[in-house]
């Protein structure tokens, strides 16, 4: 198992792994190193046959505020390392539950959308602010958000930057459940443990079947998003945020 990192906690309880983004002072904003650690650890857990479910959450008060703008603005070439992908960030056979404990904005919103389903506390909020900062999404938001809430609503959120509270997110089909903030992780664990009681080969096969169906229908859409992406270093606006 990967060593513990101050930025990313990994706790295991039986067949359930809980990953916590742990940069609360920065609202769990993603540095390049944190993103590398996160994707590597999810892949490592997915390869472990003793893991039946993975929960992804953030250290309060936020789920994830997106890419660390300080790093993006001050490190030459950082934008390219946060560049687009032509496939989901988490391509896993192990059910991945997003436990959204607070704001999930921009890249953090994309992380949430890359989970298989979402639970939200009443403190959760979702917003796509790529346009506000002169960027385009590159981790699947343009297609995953449309799939979740419909194209008209997705267009509206992306071009206005308006946020959704947990109640509206549930009404629009973005999240599966809203729970009391203190009950968020217990409820996520309850669902995860229910999953682990099912025959693991069947669960993994079903999850991969859904993955394959998504790949068959969404490959062109992933490529469209990747081809449209603009390197932040070519956009002077973000340097003056």
What whole-number distance in Å separates Cα of residue 50 and Cα of residue 53?
9
Which has more pLDDT, 99 or 88? 99
User: What predicted TM-score, i.e. pTM, was given to this entire model?
Assistant: 0.90
101-137: b (≥16 Cβ within 10 Å) or e: bbbbbbbbbbbbbbbbebbbbebbbbbbbbeebebbb
pLDDT in tens, 48-82: 999 999 999 999 999 999 999 888 777 766 666 67
pLDDT of residue 71: 85
pLDDT in tens, 146-175: 999 999 999 999 999 999 999 999 999 999
Q: What share of the chain is helix, strand, coil (3-state, %, to 5)?
A: 50, 20, 35
Q: What is the largest CA-CA distance in the chain?
A: 53
- Specify the residue for token string 């309880």: 13
Neighbours of 186 (CB within 10 A): 11
- Specify the residue for token string 């490529």: 223
Neighbours of 197 (CB within 10 A): 10
Task: Look up the CATH superfamily of 8-182.
Answer: 2-enoyl-CoA Hydratase; Chain A, domain 1 (3.90.226.10)
- Average pLDDT of span 207-235: 81
What whole-number distance in Å separates Cα of residue 142 and Cα of residue 176?
20
- Give a three-class secondary structure readout of 106-173: CHHHHHHHCCCEEEEECCCEEECCCHHHCCCCCCCHHHHHHHHHCHHHHHHHHHHCCCEEHHHHHHCC
Would the pLDDT of 2 be above 60? no
What are the domain boundaries of the chain? 8-182
Structure tokens at 123: 């403190």
pLDDT of residue 216: 80
Specify the pairing of strand 103-105 against strand 53-58.
unpaired
pLDDT of residue 79: 67
What whole-number distance in Å separates Cα of residue 214 and Cα of residue 99?
22
pLDDT of residue 220: 80
């Amino acid at each position: 198992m990967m060593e513990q990192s101050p930025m990313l906690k990994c706790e295991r309880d039986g067949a359930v792994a809980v990953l916590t983004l742990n940069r609360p002072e920065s609202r769990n904003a993603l540095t390049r190193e944190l993103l590398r650690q996160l994707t590597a650890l999810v892949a490592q857990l997915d390869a472990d046959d003793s893991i039946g479910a993975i929960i992804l959450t953030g250290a309060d008060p936020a789920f994830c505020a997106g890419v660390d703008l300080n790093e993006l603005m001050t490190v030459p070439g950082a934008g390219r390392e946060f560049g687009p992908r032509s496939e989901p960030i988490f391509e896993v056979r192990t059910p991945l539950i997003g436990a959204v404990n607070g704001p999930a904005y921009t890249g953090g919103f994309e992380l949430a959308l890359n989970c298989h389903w979402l639970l939200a506390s009443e403190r959760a909020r979702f917003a796509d602010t790529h346009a506000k900062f002169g960027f385009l999404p590159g981790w699947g938001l343009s297609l995953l958000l449309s799939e979740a809430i419909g194209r008209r609503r997705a267009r509206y959120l992306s071009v206005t930057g308006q946020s959704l509270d947990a109640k509206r997110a549930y009404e629009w089909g973005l999240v599966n459940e809203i729970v009391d903030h203190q009950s968020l992780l217990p409820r996520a664990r309850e669902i995860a443990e229910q999953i682990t009681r099912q025959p693991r080969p069947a669960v993994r096969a079903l999850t991969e079947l859904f993955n394959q169906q998504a790949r068959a229908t969404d490959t062109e859409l992933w490529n469209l998003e990747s081809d449209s992406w603009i390197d932040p270093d070519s956009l002077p606006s973000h340097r003056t945020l």
